[in-house]
Amino acid sequence: MKKRSKLPIISLLALLLVLSLGGGFFAGKALYDGDEISKIAQKFGLASGPGEPSGAPADSVAESVIEISPLPENTDGGYETTYIYEKVNPSVVSITVYSNQSIAALGSGTGIVMSADGYIITNAHVVNGGTSVNVTFSDETDANGTIIGMDTTTDLAVVKVDRTDLTPAEFGDSSALKVGERIVAIGNAGGLSSTMTQGIVSGLDRDLGEGARSLKLIQVDAAINPGNSGGPLINRFGQVIGINSSKIASVDYEGIGFSIPINEAKPILESIISHGYVTGRAVLGVSVVELNSSNGPINGLPSEGVCIMEFTADSDLPGQGVQLRDVIVEANGVDIVTTDDLLTELDKYSPGDTFNLVVYRATTRKTYSVDVKLIESVG
């Protein structure tokens, strides 16, 4: 493998982006929490955009399972940041994504070496829409990468390179984190590879999903910039305990970044490696908009419930007589006021199960009951 020249310094752009409909988070691309659209538009089993996984799932993950290491016996203070950098940086890569529609890069981000045999963790939004990936290592060598799979709902993805000599990161127990604990982040910030920032854990179990099946996130005040997406959040012992995924960026906000806890990410990543997607997740196969007193009545719809805006090709609902703009108001005897209510019920079931809905139709101003079959989400 030949060395490549260093990436040129690029100017940072202040981006204000709405939370994606698929529930993914854009770290280093900014979240703006003031737009009501981000609070009502959600997806349930609807593909969120281009970029299907380009690689075949691995037949075995025996060498690729994340092992969670215990804290060292001496938990006082932790290691100096210089030592943490030297320990973890060889396990951090820069990812550049291309599509077959353009020779210019589609985007870039960061990745974490998961195993010596080439599995690399990153964010789904880093690789989504891409058809080829270039991975640059800390020694400035590079390799072509294959997108094994992604889960846009939790913003996790796995890339594979054809190497067996990589340095995997050491992973720690994210459930042991405490507010105020020192953490560091390493990433490809603004095209500047191996950039390290430091801060503390500002909060735990943060929910930014707005009704999507997102994970509870770690909030940090360490600088998370464009290009940090998919990079490691590291505890004071040099253990990766999170995957940097998002930030709130605006003139009114400073130092509010978010990271996916590694304990929560572990089974999702392992399912992606084995199958290319997260198995066993039941969905209706619809896109919905959450109704409220502002957007419902003005359109002749209730002020509560979720309005069906689109069906996937494999959804069972159209075959059972459900139509677009019908409003789901009850599921299995539970009132559905918000998208969170519906997701809570869906999480109790498996693909193939029968799911009862009570649906309101505006054209008749009546509700009806229907039994539908749940399908499996594949992305």
Q: What is the pLDDT of residues 31-69, one digit of tens each?
A: 333 333 233 333 344 333 333 444 444 444 434 478 999
Mean pLDDT calculated for residue range 4-31: 30
Residue 344's pLDDT is what? 87
Residue 247's pLDDT is what? 65
Instruction: Give this prediction's pTM.
Output: 0.72
Residue 209's pLDDT is what? 58
CA 184, 190, 195, 198 dihedral sign is: negative
Residue 76's pLDDT is what? 74
Residue 347's pLDDT is what? 87
What kind of architecture, by CATH, is found in domain 30-35+50-275?
Beta Barrel (2.40)
Buried b / exposed e over 336-359, threshold 16 CB at 10 Å, is bbbbbbbbebbeeeeeeeebebbb
Place 152 in a pLDDT band, splitting at 50, 70 and 90. Answer: confident
Start and end residues for every CATH 2.40.10.120 domain found in the chain: 30-35+50-275
Place 26 in a pLDDT band, splitting at 50, 70 and 90. Answer: very low
Place 77 in a pLDDT band, splitting at 50, 70 and 90. Answer: confident
- By annotation, the residues acting in catalysis are 125, 155, 229
Q: Is the pLDDT of residue 232 over 80?
A: yes
Residue 222's pLDDT is what? 86
Contacts of 174 (CB under 8 A, 6+ apart): 218, 241, 242, 261, 262, 263, 264
CA-based radius of gyration for the chain:
21
User: What's the CATH number for 282-376?
Assistant: 2.30.42.10
Residues in the chain: 379
pLDDT in tens, 86-134: 999 999 999 999 988 778 888 899 999 999 999 999 999 999 989 899 9
Mean pLDDT calculated for residue range 65-79: 82
Q: Is the pLDDT of residue 218 over 50?
A: yes
**C-beta of residue 96 within 8 angstroms of C-beta of residue 230:** no
Start and end residues for every CATH 2.30.42.10 domain found in the chain: 282-376
